[in-house]
Structure 1
Amino acid sequence: MSFSIWWIFTYYFRPLIKWFLRKTTGLCELQRICYGTVSGAPRINGVEHSLNSSRSKQIKQLVDHLNDIAENRRFTGANEREILKGAVSTVLIVKKINPKIHYQFVSAFGKCVEQIWGYKQLISEVEELRQTLFDSDDFSHERRLYDLWDSLMPDEKLESRVTRQWQIIGFQGDDPKTDFRGMGLLGLENLLYFSTEYKSSAHHVLSHSFHPTYGYCFAIVGINLTSMAWSLLRDGSAKTYFYNTSKSLPTIRLFHSFYSYLFYEFDRFWVESKPRDIMEFSNVKNKFEQKIRTLLQNPRTEFRISLSVQNV
């Protein structure tokens, strides 16, 4: 019943309301959003919803075109400027907006387009990395693995490539490559980024993993958090973080930063939960994920690893 009412409202009354507001304000819905909604996630979400709900044939074609570009990762470099220019021009023509008068709209709308389809492109980029299997015959993969060890254990040298020493930083066996099967190279890239870009924080978290009561497998937990970060990105929950944080086209580094925030905060949540043992991991992780999802439902939420956190 509620779905039918919503469908009727969306199909019949929403266009009437938009028409009425256009006549009374002289502004189309996209203009009202860009002028009247705060920047970041609130504005970008509003623009995204308006474009996806449009009945205009030209706008629908534009959305499909941009989706194809993002999926095929062609939204980069000089191509990005041309794509943004074309998208803005299409909307200006369809909505009959004078760019000389509404130059602020041109800028604000272009930024929204950049974030919306930059996010979609990031999903494609992250998925490709996730599907890339760790290959011990690939020097670049092996180099990243050694860099992870050197960053976390700078005072201890590896005895060999396959060794029980890997279990010190939380891998399950003597060869870490077996633990990357689920998340592929993405799991390693996340761990390496956190351990190098937020080195103090990573060492702080690693020290907690050695706790006699609350200890856990650092690397395995990290890979599980990669799965969480990927799920939040893919289902759109992470849009709040990216839309409020990114000042330009969202990059893989921003995804790694998002992951780093999750890892640091999960460690704190884990310790505060005072689990009896590692068998409570799934339960604690689920509670933590629900907490993050709840925070992300607020479009004004921002996640940042501050300097004070980095140097704990």
Structure 2
Amino acid sequence: MTFSLWWLFTLYLRPIIKWFLRKTTGLCELQRICYGEVNGAPRIRAVERSLALSKSQQIKQLLQHLNDISDNRRFAGTNEREVVRGAVSTVLLVKKVNPHVHFQFVRSLGICIEQIWGYRQLIAEVEALRTTKFDSDCFEHERKLYDLWDNLMPDEGLEGRVTKQWQDIGFQGDDPKTDFRGMGMLGLENLLFFSSEYQAPARHVLSHSHHPVYGYCFAIVGINLTSLAWQMLRDGSAKTYVYNTSKSLPSVRLFHQFYSYLFYEFDRFWVECKPRDIMEFSSIKDRFESNIRTSLQDGNTTFRIGVSVDNI
């Protein structure tokens, strides 16, 4: 029933409403959105919906062109500026908007296009990391693994490449490479970013993972949270965070920041739940995910790590 009503609205009522508002306001739907919606996720999401529902063949061709560019990770540098400029020009032409009169609309639309297709490109960039397998024969991969150890355990040297010491930072066995299979290099890159960019919070979380009652495997939980962050990026839930946080073209760094927030907050949530043992991980993780997804439904949501030292 809900789908039928939405189909009816989209097919018949929406065009009539759009025509009426265009006649009465002198503004196209995209202009009304850019002038009327709050900057950030509410505006960008509304522009995204409007473009996706457009009946114009020129707009449809433009969207296919932008999708191709972002999917192939060619939306950057000089090309980014040219692509945004060309996309805005196409919309102005189709919608018969005078750029000299509506210069603010031109700027706002350009920002929306940058964020919408920057997000799509970010998915491609993160997927490339996820599908890159950890290679113990690769010097760069090995260096990052050692850097992770040094960030988390600066006062203790590794006895060797394969050692039980890796379990001290939450890997399952003597060789961490086997734990990266599901998320590939994305899992390592996320852990390394969290431990280097948020060193104090990361060590704080690591200390909680060593608790005799509420402890857990730091690295394994971190890789699980990489999977959660990736799912929310791919299904679009993370758009609220990205659109409200990014000041330029969304980058992998922004995804790492999103992940770092999730890890820090999951640790806080885990401690608050006071689990009996690690067997409660799945149920607590599901509740945590539900809370995060609910927060992201608010178009004004932003996430920042707020460090607070507690004793457990």
TM-score, scaled to structure 2: 0.98
Question: 2 CA distance for matches of 1:297 and 1:177?
Answer: 36
Q: Is the 8 A contact 1:126 1:186 kept in 2?
A: yes
Q: Residues 215-255 of structure 1: CA distance to partner in whole angstroms, max 9, x if unpaired?
A: 00000000000000000000000000000000100000000
What is the aligned partner in structure 2 of residue 226 from structure 1? 226
Q: Residues 7-62 of structure 1: CA distance to partner in whole angstroms, max 9, x if unpaired?
A: 11110110000000000000000000000001000000000000000000001111
Question: 1 CA distance for matches of 2:309 and 2:68?
Answer: 42
What is the aligned partner in structure 2 of residue 206 from structure 1? 206
Question: 2 CA distance for matches of 1:47 and 1:234?
Answer: 19
SS where residue 64 of structure 2 aligns?
helix
Asked whether 1:298 is paired with 2:294, we answer no
What is the aligned partner in structure 2 of residue 111 from structure 1? 111
Q: CA deviation at 1:5?
A: 2.1
Q: Residues 44-101 of structure 1: CA distance to partner in whole angstroms, max 9, x if unpaired?
A: 0000000000000001111111011110000000000000000000000000000000
1:52-67 matches, within 5 Å, as 52-67=52-67
Inter-CA distance 310–72: structure 2 relative to 1 (3 Å threshold)? farther
Question: 1 CA distance for matches of 2:205 and 2:97?
Answer: 53
Q: Is the 8 A contact 1:88 1:109 kept in 2?
A: yes
1:48-127 matches, within 5 Å, as 48-127=48-127
Question: 1 CA distance for matches of 2:2 and 2:242?
Answer: 32
Write out the 4+ residue segments of structure 1 that deviate beyond 3 Å after TM superposition. none
Question: 1 CA distance for matches of 2:116 and 2:82?
Answer: 16
1:13-32 matches, within 5 Å, as 13-32=13-32
What is the aligned partner in structure 1 of residue 35 from structure 2? 35
Letter in 2 for 1:220: I
Q: Residues 237-275 of structure 1: CA distance to partner in whole angstroms, max 9, x if unpaired?
A: 000000000010000000000000000000000000000
Q: CA deviation at 1:136?
A: 0.3
Letter in 2 for 1:24: T
Q: Residues 269-292 of structure 1: CA distance to partner in whole angstroms, max 9, x if unpaired?
A: 000000000010011001000100
Question: 1 CA distance for matches of 2:2 and 2:192?
Answer: 47
Unaligned runs of 5+ in 1: none
Q: Is the 8 A contact 1:200 1:310 kept in 2?
A: no
Question: 1 CA distance for matches of 2:180 and 2:234?
Answer: 19
Unaligned runs of 5+ in 2: none
What is the aligned partner in structure 2 of residue 237 from structure 1? 237
Letter in 2 for 1:285: K
Q: Is the 8 A contact 1:198 1:310 kept in 2?
A: no
SS where residue 159 of structure 2 aligns?
coil
Inter-CA distance 215–44: structure 2 relative to 1 (3 Å threshold)? same
Identity of aligned residues (%): 75
What is the aligned partner in structure 2 of residue 279 from structure 1? 279
TM-score, scaled to structure 1: 0.98
Q: Residues 85-137 of structure 1: CA distance to partner in whole angstroms, max 9, x if unpaired?
A: 00000000000000000000000000000000000000000001000000000
